[in-house]
Chains A and B, each alone.
Chain A
């Protein structure tokens, strides 16, 4: 997630908005954002409703056996269609901004605007 902050300007200059989603409540998101210096949007899904809708629920993996999201990244275009998905098999290995940029460029080439 730090890597997305590091390359945020590059992503945003191409019109890609970065949004993070977890079960953390808004006040924790606000504090963590400030503490870690993140400037992109953090959304809160405390009941994991959206996480469930995306089939990303990791049962009992949170503190005291609570349900949390498994790491996953999606690139959604302006029509709301999914252009790229990354479902990691190792929670320590996450998508890099480079992958998102490449997926975006590919989509741009396929649909010239």
Chain B
């Protein structure tokens, strides 16, 4: 008897893959930027489908394929989810506490630095020239 293709394994795996690869895409939109719930939703759908597929492969091995493929896809899926969670919940949060950073109401420490054209710019120049200055410290492009 020819066995049925175990589609829920494949579709589940595709959802997991989409959840894994779409972080940069969803980071563009304000609603999904700060917390990647769209990615976690894709992971959840993928996980459920994959589990259904595994039940089919092992529960009805005469009807469905996937006894070898299922566990392989499941392990890959767990690795992707694990890596994603590790990066999101640990790596991206490895930020120094900066308890000594200037606070609201304090004077901003004065500085003089070179701008993109090699010209000296001081904080005093900036504040006297405008109503307010937004200082954006960033990691750099290198």
Contacts and interface: CB of A to CB of B under 8 A. Distances in A.
Interface of A: 1, 4, 11, 14-24, 26, 28-30, 32-33, 41-45, 49-51, 53-59, 61-63, 68-85, 87-96, 100, 104, 107
Contact of A73 (B118, B134, B141): B134
Given A82-B105, A82-B107, A16 B131 contact: yes
B95 A76 contact: no
Query: Which one of B93, B110, B116, B142 has the greatest number of beta carbons of chain A within 10 Å?
Result: B116
A23 B113 CA distance: 11
Given A4-B134, A77-B132, A92-B92, A29 B116 contact: yes
Contacts of A79: 127
Interface in B93-138: 93-96, 98-111, 113-118, 121, 123-124, 126-138
A78 B130 contact: yes
A16 B133 CA distance: 5
Which 4 pairs show the lowest CB-CB distances between chains A and B? A15-B131, A55-B100, A22-B140, A43-B113
A17 B95 contact: no
Given A21-B135, A43-B114, A78 B127 contact: yes
Chain B interface SS verdict (over half): loop
B116 A19 contact: no
Given A24-B142, A43-B121, A45-B113, A54 B101 contact: yes
Contacts of B126: 17, 19, 41, 76
Given A76-B108, A90-B93, 11 more contacts: A19-B133, A20-B138, A22-B141, A23-B140, A26-B118, A43-B113, A44-B113, A44-B115, A75-B132, A80-B123, A91-B94
Contacts of A68: 139-140
